[in-house]
Amino acid sequence: MEKNKDKVAIVTGAAKNIGRATCESLSKLGFNVLVHANSDKDGALETLNIVKKNSVNADIMIGDLTIEETSKQLVSEASKLGEVSVLVNNASQREFNKFDDMTFDQWRFVMSINIDTLFHTCKAVIPQMKKNNWGRIVNLGGLSAHISAIGRAHVITSKSAVIGFSRALAMEYAESGITINTVVPGLIDTVRGASAGRSLVHPSHSNPPIGRKGYPVEVATMISNLCGPNSDFITGQTIHVNGGSYFP
């Protein structure tokens, strides 16, 4: 923990579920944490209270990351807590729209949140990481990008792009002390918004072969492992946490 004392982790979409669990996991490693949420201030404050129990500095920021200026502000706020060292791009949108009925606005809405925001946040944090010769970026993928699904052409396309984006940056910054990886959660026991549809229409198991849904903490543990002291040699990878639902 002492090694990470002055380092700050930014976690987007952290008002609940995997984002909240990731904030808690990183705080247990000694990282100071900036908790981001798009609009759920109450949820972000709940996450903040959990994080502070681990005796680290922490704060929240509410804002729309599809706006470039918000990402710049995110880094500015994080810098007040210490050295910006970790970025976890967890914020995501999982709409359900059959392609026959999908509008271009619905397509762009999902793409703007799932991939455009990564451009903004990475552009904002990487200069800080380069300056310090150390950084960890973890982007969240999606299982449907690997096994497909009905009604999610926009989600699948955007989550496939996350993998390519992560690999491209991993190569570009390999000599800068910055690692960039993608973590792909499987079917996780989370609270989903109504726009995601009543159920995931995957041509796969209703439950993973392991016999249950995953827990947010299990994904968060993988993310925090990639941000820890023994992860220097792991970059450009796509790592699945899915209970056996998919084998790359």
- pLDDT tens readout for residues 6-32: 999 999 999 999 999 999 999 999 999
Question: Averaged over 142-155, what is the pLDDT?
Answer: 96
**What pLDDT is stored for residue 193 in this prediction?**
54
Helix (H) or strand (E) run with residue 183 in it: strand 178-185
- Alpha-carbon distance 70 to 155, whole Å? 23
202: its two tokens? 């995957």
Enter the pTM of the model. 0.94
**What pLDDT is stored for residue 48 in this prediction?**
98
| SS3 state at 184 | strand
**What pLDDT is stored for residue 197 in this prediction?**
46
Residue 4, pLDDT above cutoff 90 = no
**What pLDDT is stored for residue 201 in this prediction?**
46
Contacts with 113 (C-beta within 8 Å, 6 or more apart), sequence order? 65, 66, 91, 92, 93, 158
Q: State what percent of residues in the chain have pLDDT above 90.
A: 89
Report residue 97: phi and psi, to 5°.
-145, 120
Q: State what percent of residues in the chain have pLDDT above 70.
A: 93
Which position has the higher pLDDT, 55 or 203?
55
C-beta separation of 29 from 228 below 8 A:
yes
**What pLDDT is stored for residue 3 in this prediction?**
72
Contacts with 101 (C-beta within 8 Å, 6 or more apart), sequence order? none
| SS3 state at 164 | helix
Contacts with 5 (C-beta within 8 Å, 6 or more apart), sequence order? 30, 82
- Alpha-carbon distance 13 to 83, whole Å? 21
Please give the mean pLDDT across all residues of the chain: 93
| SS3 state at 83 | strand
C-beta separation of 230 from 176 below 8 A:
no
Q: 196-229 pLDDT, tens per residue?
A: 444 444 544 468 999 999 999 999 999 999 998 8
- Alpha-carbon distance 231 to 50, whole Å? 25
- Alpha-carbon distance 199 to 59, whole Å? 34
Q: Look at strands 58-62 and 238-241 and give their pairing.
A: unpaired
**What pLDDT is stored for residue 161 in this prediction?**
98
- Alpha-carbon distance 17 to 211, whole Å? 20
pLDDT band at 191; cut points 50, 70, 90: confident
pLDDT band at 192; cut points 50, 70, 90: low
